[in-house]
Amino acid sequence: MLDDAALDQIFRQARTHNAFSGEVTDAQLRALWDLMKFGPTTANSQPARIVFVRSREAKERLKPALNPGNVDKTMSAPVTAILAYDLEFYQHLPRLFPHNPAMKDAYVGEDKKQFVATVALRNASLQGGYFIIAARALGIDTGPMSGFNNALVDEAFFAGTTWRSNFLCNLGRGDPSKLFPRSPRLAFDEACKVL
C-alpha cells in the first residue's frame, strides 16, 4: 500500500488549480505518457490522443473555444493538454491486441459507429483519469476543464481527421492562493452498495 504522503499527493490533498506558473518540459510530457500508457483499456485499445498546447500560436487557436471563465487561466498556463480520442482507434488493434487479431472486426462498419464512439469515450476518459493521476504523481499540478466548445476545438485542431476532443487540462505549478474551497464529495452510502 502506498504511504500517506503519496496518497495525499495523488488523491487526498491534490486539487484542481485555477492559476499556473512555471514550465513543463518535453521530458515531463514524455514521462507523463510513459506512466499513463500502462493503464488498462478495453482490448488494450488506447483510444486517447493528446495535443499538448504550449506555443503562443496554438494557444491563440484554442482561445475562441474556451468558456469566458477559462480563458485567463488557460492562456497563462505553461501547457494546456487537449485530451482527445481517435474514432479509428481500432485500426491499431491487430498490433495492440495480439491475443486476438480478429478483435478489430468488432468495430468495423457503419452499424458499429455508435458503439465505437461509446468505447472511445469510455476508454479515453479512463485514460484521462490515468493522465490526471500520473501528472500529480510526477509533481505536475492539473486543472481539468469541460468548459469549452468541443466542436470549435475539433475544427481548429482536428479538421479532416478522426480525432475528437474530450476535455482540456492545464498543466504547471498551481498557485495554492487561488484555489476555491474544496467542494463536498458523495458519501460511500450515497454512491456505493455492497450486495
d(CA 116, CA 114): 5
Q: How far is the CB of 93 from a second copy (least distance, A)?
A: 10
Give the binding range for a second copy (CB under 8 A) out of 3-11, 70-78, 170-178: 3-11
Residues in contact with a second copy, shown as a per-residue x/- string from 79 to 118 under the rule CB under 8 A? -------------x--xxxxx------------------x
**Residue 188 binds a second copy, judged by CB under 8 A:** yes
Handedness of CA 174, 177, 180, 186 (dihedral sign): positive
Residues in contact with a second copy, shown as a per-residue x/- string from 16 to 55 under the rule CB under 8 A? x---------x--xx--xxxxxxxx-xxx-x-xxxxxxxx
**Residue 121 binds a second copy, judged by CB under 8 A:** yes
Cell triple for 129: 483519469
Contact indicator for 172, 77 with CB cutoff of 8 Å: yes
One-letter amino acid at 159 equals: A
- For 115, residues 6+ apart whose C-beta sits below 8 A from its C-beta are 107
Q: Which of 94, 101, 109, 129 binds a second copy (CB under 8 A)?
A: 129
Q: How far is the CB of 127 from a second copy (least distance, A)?
A: 7
Contact indicator for 96, 46 with CB cutoff of 8 Å: yes
**Helix, coil or strand: residue 5:** helix
Q: How far is the CB of 110 from a second copy (least distance, A)?
A: 20
Other CB atoms within 10 Å distance of the CB of residue 51: 18
**Residue 77 binds a second copy, judged by CB under 8 A:** no
Torsion angles phi and psi, residue 117, rounded to 5: -65, -40
Give the binding range for a second copy (CB under 8 A) out of 70-78, 126-134, 170-178: 126-134
Q: Which of 146, 151, 162, 176 binds a second copy (CB under 8 A)?
A: 146
Q: How far is the CB of 21 from a second copy (least distance, A)?
A: 18
Contact indicator for 2, 52 with CB cutoff of 8 Å: no
